[in-house]
Amino acid sequence: MTRYRDLHRRSIDNPEAFWREEARRIHWHTPFGTVLDRSKPPFARWFVGGRTNLCHNAVDRHLAERAQQNALIYVSTETGIERHYTYAELHGEINRMAAVMRSLGVKRGDVVLIYLPMIPEALFAMLACARLGAIHSVVFGGFAAPNLAARIEDAKPMLIVTADAGARGGKVVDYTPLVDEALARARHKTPHVLLIDRQLAPARLNAPYLVAYEPLREQFFDVHVPCEWLESNEPSYVLYTSGTTGKPKGVQRDVGGYAVALAVSMEYIFEGKAGDTMFTASDIGWVVGHSYIVYAPLIAGLTTVMYEGTPIRPDGGIWWRLVEQHKINLMFAAPTALRVLKKQDPALMKAADLSSLRTLFLAGEPLDEPTAAWITRALNKPVIDNYWQTESGWPMLAIPRGIEALPTKLGSPGVPSVGYSLTVRNELTGEPCAVGEKGVLTLDYPLPPGCMSTVWRDDKRFVDTYWSSVPNHQVYSTFDWGVQDEDGYVTILGRTDDVINVAGHRLGTREIEEALSSHAAVAEVAVVGVTDPVKGQVAMAFVVLRGAQGEGDPSERARLAAELAMTVDRNFGSIARPARVVMVSMLPKTRSGKLLRRAIAALAEGRDPGDLPTIEDPAALQLVRDALGDGGQN
């Protein structure tokens, strides 16, 4: 670990020298004067005075050498449409979108809210905003009207870009009624809504604020829009964190620091080389989509694959066929998607030629050991976990293969990435934990480039939320439990608010889930804390079985439930044993694959799970209700 440790230590001990050198990876229209402004902690300003543009770095600067290389490959298994765009063609589409936005009054510093499905125009719109110096705020397509209204109210956009509809799993979601309702709810009145008509649902163009995109695109077909050169610390975008309560929390990102950090990550973590093809199976509504569908691959001169569809439609081999057809080199997905694919016919993977694939990266939630072991054996390729947040913008923990080929450790996403001064701290004292001791993952000041600069229009909330929860220290809290071993590898143990307090004993749901996942019968599991009149809380496990185990046989399911409870008992003692093991055929998840644990807990306690705009399949909630109704032995 010599080379990694030396480089990481340099990035912490002398960040100014380290990041001055790394900043050469991007184009600066005006050189920066100061690498790091620490005058107002916990705020940090990177590359002060430097002027640059994200769109120029992602597209324009590649035109001399890569004009005819594919920049974007778009595949929709929902509509059957596939499109390829070279860097030159992408440049043209971005200019047309930017010209349309400019004609509707969008200028530098204005906010554009993008409410689109996974279509090329979503990427065009993001990069057009970057070109104009406007601030984009992408809201996950299909979010319910109240959630959309809250984001409109907070972001105060000059323009909303939407489509007639999205599609998921063969179902069409009509967007325009949602936009109409959201605009009616919001006090902020957005002047224009730019509509991209996919002809999936009736396009409602009767509202006075709706403007059709296609006629304007044709009008501005040959227009060139120059890039606005932004000071490094001007905002590039605002992305609202999922699952927020009350007033939405907008993560604000800068321009220069973000571009440099993404360029660094593509070499040091993802080993992406110009000309490679990268498929990130996420959505542009999430931070993974922002960073590794749109900006990072293009900044590094790669071809990025944008996919509209599910991992199992038309069948469980679609992702592997994409790898073969488009000679994908790097793939990035979520562990939940892998757990879904684990249940598919293994012949579907074996039928595809995966020789182009170098590495599979996983993030979004902790990677359990059984899934990691399965996919590593099945692919016979490196499977690399990494850990980060909307707030960080790029991985905090990873295996830095571009620096040094460190070994992976099952259950751990890796070691701290360059620039991140990470410490596991005691939740009560704030002091650093000993090796192997569980604590809260924290980051020391300053956060490296690419991390959030503040909460949109609320500096106080940035300080109060992220920098004020650890006793006796002003450090950034990730609100995740973790433990670090003697080699520096960190294992994530779940959110600090996912702790169960059973008769005074604090237990992490993640640890119980890990024990249950080790059982051969288990495909997926979610553990939640449920109120108990005697113990305060008890653990309840919701389990999806592999294959047809226990199907139609109540006695076999009862035996398995008891066996699974004892698996936890053997790992952590009887205090951690789930009060119930409930067998279900499906767990409620978001469209990005995250388990809706709070909704599951609400159902277990007989409460209303509330509005769940991002749920993949609402039928999963009823399946949980039904299973709870007969004691979980159905």
Phi-psi region of 426 (alpha: psi -120 to 50; beta: other; left: phi over 0): beta
Those residues with Cβ within 8 angstroms of residue 619's Cβ, 6 or more apart along the chain or in another chain: 586
Chain centre distance of CA 528: 22
Asked if residue 48 lies in contact with residue 34, where contact means CB atoms within 8 angstroms, the answer is: yes
| Residue 279, token pair as written in the block | 């498929």
Helix 145-155 and helix 176-185, axial crossing angle in degrees, nearest 10? 50
Q: How far is the C-alpha of 561 from the C-alpha of 525, rounded, in Å?
A: 12
Collect the ranges in the chain with pLDDT lower than 70. 203-206, 242-246, 497-499, 501, 503-506, 534, 548-552, 572-573, 592, 613, 630-634
Those residues with Cβ within 8 angstroms of residue 185's Cβ, 6 or more apart along the chain or in another chain: 145, 146, 149
Q: How far is the C-alpha of 522 from the C-alpha of 91, rounded, in Å?
A: 48
**What is the identity of the amino acid at 230?**
L
Q: How far is the C-alpha of 94 from the C-alpha of 92, rounded, in Å?
A: 5
Q: How far is the C-alpha of 230 from the C-alpha of 130, rounded, in Å?
A: 9
Smallest CA-to-CA distance from 168 within 143, 190, 151, 193 is with 143
- DSSP string across 564-612: HHHHHHHHH-GGGS-SEEEE-S---BBTTS-B-HHHHHHHHTT------
Those residues with Cβ within 8 angstroms of residue 458's Cβ, 6 or more apart along the chain or in another chain: 250
Asked if residue 138 lies in contact with residue 237, where contact means CB atoms within 8 angstroms, the answer is: yes
Beta bridge partners of 305: 73, 279
| Residue 378, token pair as written in the block | 């099945």
| Residue 602, token pair as written in the block | 């609400």
| Residue 149, token pair as written in the block | 């209204």
| Helix, strand and coil percent figures for the chain, each rounded to 5 | 35, 25, 40
| Residue 592, token pair as written in the block | 């990005």
Q: 33 vs 28, 231, 342, 621, CA distance in Å?
A: 12, 11, 51, 55
Chain centre distance of CA 46: 24
Residue 323's H or E segment, with its range, is helix 318-326
pLDDT at position 420? 98
**Residues 284-294: pLDDT tens digits?**
999 999 999 99
**What is the identity of the amino acid at 586?**
M
Residue 299's H or E segment, with its range, is helix 296-299
Chain centre distance of CA 280: 10
Q: How far is the C-alpha of 350 from the C-alpha of 333, rounded, in Å?
A: 19
**Residues 357-411: pLDDT tens digits?**
999 999 987 787 888 889 999 999 999 999 999 999 999 999 999 999 999 998 8
Smallest CA-to-CA distance from 525 within 550, 508, 545, 507 is with 545
Alpha helices in 107-230, H assignment, sequence order? 120-132, 145-155, 176-185, 213-219
| Residue 595, token pair as written in the block | 């388990």
DSSP-derived secondary structure letter, 479: E
CATH number listed for the domain at residues 503-629:
3.30.300.30
DSSP-derived secondary structure letter, 407: P
Q: 604 vs 336, 567, 596, CA distance in Å?
A: 22, 22, 13
pLDDT at position 132? 98
How are beta strands 303-308 and 277-280 bridged, if at all? parallel
Beta bridge partners of 304: 72, 278
| Residue 166, token pair as written in the block | 């999205």
186 by Cβ neighbours in 10 Å (0-12 / 13-18 / 19+) ranks as buried
Asked if residue 259 lies in contact with residue 52, where contact means CB atoms within 8 angstroms, the answer is: yes
Smallest CA-to-CA distance from 492 within 332, 346, 338, 366 is with 366
Q: Which fold, 2-309+386-480?
A: Rossmann fold (3.40.50)
pLDDT at position 504? 57
Asked if residue 256 lies in contact with residue 270, where contact means CB atoms within 8 angstroms, the answer is: no
Smallest CA-to-CA distance from 136 within 164, 94, 108, 105 is with 108
Domain ranges of the chain: 2-309+386-480, 503-629
Chain centre distance of CA 476: 20
The residue with tokens 């979004």 is 364
pLDDT at position 243? 40
Those residues with Cβ within 8 angstroms of residue 573's Cβ, 6 or more apart along the chain or in another chain: none
Asked if residue 134 lies in contact with residue 107, where contact means CB atoms within 8 angstroms, the answer is: yes
pLDDT at position 544? 92
Q: How far is the C-alpha of 40 from the C-alpha of 614, rounded, in Å?
A: 37
Q: How far is the C-alpha of 563 from the C-alpha of 561, rounded, in Å?
A: 5
The residue with tokens 């999430």 is 286
Q: How far is the C-alpha of 413 from the C-alpha of 556, rounded, in Å?
A: 36
Beta bridge partners of 360: 331, 383
